[in-house]
A and B are shown apart, each in its own frame.
Chain A
Amino acid sequence: MSFVEWFLSFIYKIKTFPLIIQITIVLTLTFIVVTFSVLITVYVIRRKHNKVQKKLKDSLPKIEDLFNDVLFSDKKYSDEEVFNSFEDIVEEVNYESLDTGLDVLVDIKNDSNKESEKYPLIISALNIIEHIESKFDSRSNSRKMDAFQQSFVLGLNRFDSKILQYAYSKNKKIRTEARNSYLALSANDPYRFFDEIEGSLTKWDEIELMQYLQQQNKRGNLEGLGKWINYSKNTSLVVFLIKMVGYFKQRGIDEILIDKLVHEDAKVRAASIETLGELNLKETEQTLIDRYYTEPELCQIAIIKTIRKFNSGKSLKFLEQIFNDSNSTDMKKLIAEAIINYSYEGKMSFQNLKETLTGFDLQILKHIETPIIKFK
């Protein structure tokens, strides 16, 4: 009996079975086909992967050596020499090999403590700009995300039109990434999307934006952030920017910060208080002390940190008083830490407290003064 005859007779036989059995047979065959397809796919994926790995094992260290030599040695390379050396290593300069080269370059830039002015040489020799543009144009979101980040690491601020295209993307993640990245990657109007942040910032947004602001600061293009603090209706953005004012020590917005001390949102007040400390605006010390007992814990913590930062020597009594008044162990730890770090008088006061206090309060003081307890 030929296979075809056997198969036809099998089909005929199946038709005589109850429906449920017919379904079972069809599904079982489907499961078998899927299993075999998966098995073959895994085999193909692995083969391709092993081949790439083998190639990378040989070429990666060579690419790394080449780039390190170009970037950090005194040897002068021309565009053509860089390209030819790269081609010798990877055999063919195509999308895959360029992507490998780009990854290596980004890693070197991220990991290396040494600065080099020769990154543009490699970027132009290998036509990295065009390669990143093709990644921006890719349908893969993963490649687009890579392109945003690689451009940032390499400090390439010439993708305004590409980023603008994605700043209004329907994909929320791409849209957010594009708008955040615009701050670092735009050459013309980097602050364009500051006012268009949708909803509250995530902590990741803050991490990214801070990096981008650092980059602008490095380029000398960091604008005064006060105007957004004053006008923005987005509370999370206001809180973030107030913190950044403190971080970058931007002066000239003292009045705005003092106004924010009476803001209805405790997070805004707390951020303003801490920034007053960062900017060392000691004239606000008494105002902060006056507000202490009417503020929630978040702001009280900020006040203690700020007073510790001012280190004016005027608030030791206040710190002692709130240490005695507080019922929270975490607050007591924070206050005790402020006292011990509050100049010479603070250290003396800490010793006096140690002599007078007993029980768990004394344990808190011992905890604070023990240097091997790193995180208090």
Chain B
Amino acid sequence: MFDIFVKVYEYFIFFYATALILSYMVLAVFSFISINRYKSYNTDIDDEELLNSELAPGISVIAPAYNEEKTIIINVKSLLTLNYPLFEVIIVNDGSKDDTLDLLIKEFDLVEAPFAYVEKIKSKPYKRTFKSQNPKYDILTVIDKENGGTKADAFNAGLNASVFPYYLNTDVDCILARNTLSKMIKPVLNSKTRVIAVGATLRMSNNCDIEEGVITRVRPPKALIPRFQELEYIRSYLLGKMGWELINAVPNVSGGLGMFDKEIAIKAGGYGADSHAEDMDMMTRMAVHMMNNKIPYKIGYIPLSCCWTEGPPNIQILGRQRTRWASGLFQMFSDHRKILFNPKYKNLGLITFPYVFIFEFLAPIIEAFGILFTIFLIFFGQVNWTFAPLILFYSYAFAVMISSIVIIWDQMTFKYYNTTREVLKLFVIALIEPFLYHPMIMFFSLKGYFSFITSRELAWGTMTRQGFEKDKDGNDKNSGDKGNDETKPGIFSKLKKNKESDTFEEIKP
């Protein structure tokens, strides 16, 4: 019996690993084609054409803020420096308990304005709107609302206040490239099929030079944890999302930086206010809405890095972030479980969701089980020591190769780093990532799943900012979670609740 179990397990792992390797290889080829296509048909002269055109559509930049006093001013200034003919910046103060709002009022000379706020999408109560008396900041709007507990709720309030047909969602801790809007709107303008969302690459801002809210020099982060993340982000965006873009199966557009069609976002019901994976949740809702109404749609991606965000500087903060993400992923599959393997949902049901479910959601569980099982086999002397290290090395060599390919794709797209040495630093990271970083991520993912099952509600804004001042010692960076962990009903009650309320738009027959 035991032998049969071991055999079945061996075959399962063999096929799982083979499928994973093949999928990465296919994605590498897809992303190569997508990047080349993008580079061939998009030039910087396009930006000039767009900037000088009276037909450039308006864009609302929406950034929620919760207890962001350390970085709020520099980040809002960064958003105000964007180079685009028609845009507004909406900061949603989601009931911050610190001085975020006071700092904004003082710095930007804000006063309360009689704003006709319409709640097209439900969110926690809106309080008031501030506008600047200084004409220099006339495109800035600050919305003050009660804390909704999630970033999704704050985005909904921002959407309600926005006036333009497209919106860019971002975080206030993000520094955007000045040409972000012109680069990201291009796929929308250049497609005959309606493009409902566009994403771009994010990187770490931890070791970059920033002057007046503008990135002036890009470097890989000095600290190990953000540097691991830099590589992880590049791999996820350039290999994953750019690859999926080719077959219109992008699973999600990041909450840190994404441009969306406002009309579709509102018709799809906006962000799930209780969602912790608000980006993928929103993308799914929009895609389902388009399918319900039989409107062809596309989700675009550009290979350029347009956004720099402060990565968690230590394991504790990384842990909180990843636990929240994993919990959000679990919530996603719980809320939208009807899509999984459902042919009615086309690419979404048969490619995107199954891939994310099998290779992202299940991976930590399979890996953890594999580690425990290997320990068990070692204990009972069942390990073939001649071949086991070879198999391990095979997986390791593959992981390093994929990261190397991503580095060359990144160099092919745009050379963000000034020196060869900085690029080689990422190679070194690729060599040690499988041993140091990957097990941590696996652990935090499992912790996130556990949190979701045992229903520890994770509030948003758990990342403690260090700010961009170089000499900050960051004494408070371990100050703990800023949100309140509450105990909520368990998973079965959640599933039941979802079934009863059924807020998710289903596909029509």
**Chain B, Cβ-Cβ closest to A36:** B404
B303 to chain A, nearest CB (A): 14
Q: Are B420 and A370 neighbours in the complex by a CB distance under 8 Å?
A: no
Given contacts A46-B420, A141-B41, A375-B163, contact A38 B407 (CB under 8 A): yes
B304 to chain A, nearest CB (A): 15
Q: Are A329 and B116 neighbours in the complex by a CB distance under 8 Å?
A: yes
Q: Are B116 and A207 neighbours in the complex by a CB distance under 8 Å?
A: no
**Chain A, Cβ-Cβ closest to B188:** A203
Q: Which residues of A contact B43 (CB under 8 A)?
A: 142, 145-146, 149
Is A164 among interface residues, defined by CB-CB distance under 8 A? no
Is A34 among interface residues, defined by CB-CB distance under 8 A? yes
Q: When chains A and B are docked, how far (Å) is the Cα of A35 from the Cα of B407? A: 11
Q: Which residues of A contact B88 (CB under 8 A)?
A: 374-375
Q: Are B423 and A203 neighbours in the complex by a CB distance under 8 Å?
A: no
Quick one: CB contact mask for A11-42 with B, threshold 8 Å, 1 for yes?
00000010011001101100110110011011
Quick one: CB contact mask for A164-184 with B, threshold 8 Å, 1 for yes?
000000000100000000000
Q: When chains A and B are docked, how far (Å) is the Cα of A372 from the Cα of B108? A: 13
Q: Which residues of A contact B45 (CB under 8 A)?
A: 106, 110, 146, 149-150, 153
Number of interface residues of A (CB under 8 A): 56
B117 to chain A, nearest CB (A): 8
Q: Are B393 and A202 neighbours in the complex by a CB distance under 8 Å?
A: no
Q: When chains A and B are docked, how far (Å) is the Cα of A59 from the Cα of B399? A: 42
Q: Are A333 and B40 neighbours in the complex by a CB distance under 8 Å?
A: no
Is A357 among interface residues, defined by CB-CB distance under 8 A? no
Listed stretches A81-89, A250-258, A268-276, A360-368; interface member? A360-368
Q: When chains A and B are docked, how far (Å) is the Cα of A142 from the Cα of B413? A: 13
Q: When the two chains form the complex, which single residue of B39, B53, B192, B405 contacts A210, counting CB atoms closer than 8 Å?
A: B53
A123 to chain B, nearest CB (A): 17
Q: Are A200 and B192 neighbours in the complex by a CB distance under 8 Å?
A: yes
B162 to chain A, nearest CB (A): 9
A residues 148-166 touching B (CB-CB < 8 Å): 149-150, 153
B50 to chain A, nearest CB (A): 6
Number of interface residues of B (CB under 8 A): 57
Q: When chains A and B are docked, how far (Å) is the Cα of A373 from the Cα of B408? A: 47
Q: Are B55 and A203 neighbours in the complex by a CB distance under 8 Å?
A: yes
Is B26 among interface residues, defined by CB-CB distance under 8 A? no
Q: Are A373 and B115 neighbours in the complex by a CB distance under 8 Å?
A: yes
Q: When the two chains form the complex, which single residue of B163, B390, B405 contacts A376, counting CB atoms closer than 8 Å?
A: B163
Q: Which residues of B contact A374 (CB under 8 A)?
A: 88, 138-139
Is B111 among interface residues, defined by CB-CB distance under 8 A? yes
Q: Which residues of A contact B419 (CB under 8 A)?
A: 50
**Chain A, Cβ-Cβ closest to B400:** A35
Q: When chains A and B are docked, how far (Å) is the Cα of A374 from the Cα of B134? A: 12
Q: Are A329 and B118 neighbours in the complex by a CB distance under 8 Å?
A: yes
Contact surface of B with A, Cβ cutoff 8 Å:
14, 39-41, 43, 45-46, 48-50, 52-58, 88, 111, 113-116, 118, 131-133, 138-139, 163-164, 186, 188-192, 387, 390-391, 393-394, 397-398, 400-401, 404-405, 407-408, 411, 415, 419-420, 423-424, 427
Between A and B, 16 residue pairs with Cβ closer than 8 Å are A17-B387, A21-B387, A24-B394, A31-B400, A38-B408, A42-B407, A43-B420, A46-B423, A142-B40, A203-B57, A203-B188, A207-B56, A207-B189, A210-B55, A211-B53, A367-B113
The 10 closest A-B pairs by CB, nearest first: A366-B114, A31-B397, A367-B116, A46-B420, A204-B189, A203-B189, A141-B40, A38-B404, A149-B45, A204-B190
